[in-house]
Amino acid sequence: MPEQQAGYREIFAVREYRHLFAANLLSLIGDQLTAVALSFLVYQRSGSSLLAALTFAGSYLTWVVGGPLLSVLADRLPRRRVLLTCDLIRAGLVLVMLIPGTPVPLLVALAFVANLCRPPFQSARASLLPDVLDGDRYPVANGLDNIVAEVTQVAGFALGGLLITAGSAQTVLVVDATTFLLSAVLIATGLRRCAAATQAAAEPSGSWWSETTAGVRVVFTNRTLRSYLLLFWLSCLVYATEGVVAPLAGEYGGGARTVGLLLAMMPAGVAVGGVLLTRFCSPELRRRSMLPLAVLSCAVLLPVAGHPPLPVVLALLFVSGLAGAFSIPLNAVFGRAVPAAYRARAFGVAMSGLCAVQGLAMLGAGAAAEAVRPTLVVGGVALLATLAVLTVVATWPSPDRAPVSEPVREPVGV
């Protein structure tokens, strides 16, 4: 019997999801405000562009460092407790930043520690969703969350800039701490108390390192989960384009406005694609379109190598993002396939790997743009990503080449 398609009304009918959604929205806004306010404050006090950039980049570096390690907490402790603790720690650290005369190195360190709370928070939340939402509600909620994340990233930066202009960085930090406190209230009042994901929480089966590597083994020793993850990571190589938007805009004789347009196209495409996939496509169509869309998201940027007109480049970037929305149903399939006891660690591995792939791809693209024109770099990255994705598609584990969402057994030894 085909799975019944769900809508936004169905997912918001679930009280726990309403609270998780609102708490996540507030935490995302808080993360963006922290990045904006601290970067401005550090630059204002130190005059160092490097320190300001390091403060901003810390929000991404913490996923690489803390993704696999700290997501263990979301499997070994009650996930509601992890969410609450992360929000309260972040609120407390932001309030400490408000103390007058706080040295700049301490501000950078506090920002880094606050950002370290993101991996366990997001991993715990992602792990809860398959338990809170049944049937097609889960992938629809994933689509909505993705859209909200894209919009919040832009709106959070804009809001931070406006608040700094109207008041000060300290004003933004007060608002920031408030968002985390409100998120904690929503979690405390809206989520039922629950046990840890595994009964082994009280008696860990080994060292922290062995607990971390257990999550890695669950993903990479299973062909199905490994294929899901590789498809996601390798398709995201095209985001290396973001690393060369400034020289790309310069190639077309544009300035800051052109840079903004180039940066906005792919996120806008993902947001629109998320709506189309989750609201207007059946669950079966979503599953069967994932592989073609994954290939399209990379291959559509190949013509950029020929230096087409700027409007064509913008359109191609938008279509790339539109097709890149395949990651929304893929994320839902991945979440349901991972054993519940390792779900948070699996999401931590996925996100840390994504940050590493995107970061290295951007660095490589930037280095290549020193030697060749940026449009050729974008086309070359698209070719590399397309070939990589086709390799994964050629070895896809499902006989009918469409992912399924049955649970995957834990590998022996884990």
**20-34, 162-176, 198-212, 259-273: least confident range:** 198-212
pLDDT band of residue 148 (cuts 50, 70, 90) is confident
Domain boundary among 168, 197, 226: 197
Q: What is the pTM of this model?
A: 0.70
Determine, yes or no, domain membership for 211: no
* CA 215 – CA 339 distance, rounded (Å): 10
Angstrom CA distances, 56 to 106, 299, 322, stand at 15, 31, 27
What tens digit of pLDDT does each residue of 293-327 get? 999 999 999 999 999 999 999 999 999 999 988 88
Report which of 147, 85, 140, 151 is spatially closest to residue 118, judged by C-alpha positions: 85
Judge if 368 and 223 occupy the same domain: yes
DSSP letter at 403? -
Report which of 217, 226, 227, 168 is spatially closest to residue 342, judged by C-alpha positions: 217
Number of domains in the chain: 2
Judge if 38 and 166 occupy the same domain: yes
Asked if 131 and 17 count as a contact pair (C-beta separation under 8 A), the reply is no
**For residue 297, what pLDDT is reported?**
93
Structural domain containing residue 169: 1-197
Determine, yes or no, domain membership for 412: no
Domain boundary among 166, 197, 228: 197
Judge if 158 and 262 occupy the same domain: no
- The CATH code of the domain that includes 319 is 1.20.1250.20
Judge if 192 and 328 occupy the same domain: no
Judge if 87 and 171 occupy the same domain: yes
Judge if 389 and 292 occupy the same domain: yes
* CA 116 – CA 58 distance, rounded (Å): 9
Per-residue pLDDT, averaged over 273-280, amounts to: 82
Judge if 307 and 167 occupy the same domain: no
pLDDT band of residue 182 (cuts 50, 70, 90) is very high
Report which of 108, 88, 103 is spatially closest to residue 30, judged by C-alpha positions: 88
pLDDT band of residue 405 (cuts 50, 70, 90) is very low
For the cut 70, the answer to whether the pLDDT of residue 8 exceeds it is yes
Judge if 231 and 149 occupy the same domain: no
Determine, yes or no, domain membership for 204: no
**188-192, 257-261, 277-281: least confident range:** 257-261
**For residue 315, what pLDDT is reported?**
94
Determine, yes or no, domain membership for 208: no
Q: What is the 3-state secondary structure (H, E, C) of 347-379?
A: HHHHHHHHHHHHHHHHHHHHHHCCCCCHHHHHH
Determine, yes or no, domain membership for 118: yes
For the cut 50, the answer to whether the pLDDT of residue 400 exceeds it is no
Determine, yes or no, domain membership for 337: yes
Place of tokens 């396939």: 337
For the cut 60, the answer to whether the pLDDT of residue 366 exceeds it is yes
Judge if 293 and 367 occupy the same domain: yes
Judge if 126 and 20 occupy the same domain: yes
Greatest extent of the chain over all pairs of C-alpha atoms, in Å: 65
**For residue 256, what pLDDT is reported?**
62
Judge if 295 and 239 occupy the same domain: yes
Determine, yes or no, domain membership for 379: yes
Domain boundary among 164, 197, 230: 197
Judge if 341 and 193 occupy the same domain: no
Determine, yes or no, domain membership for 341: yes
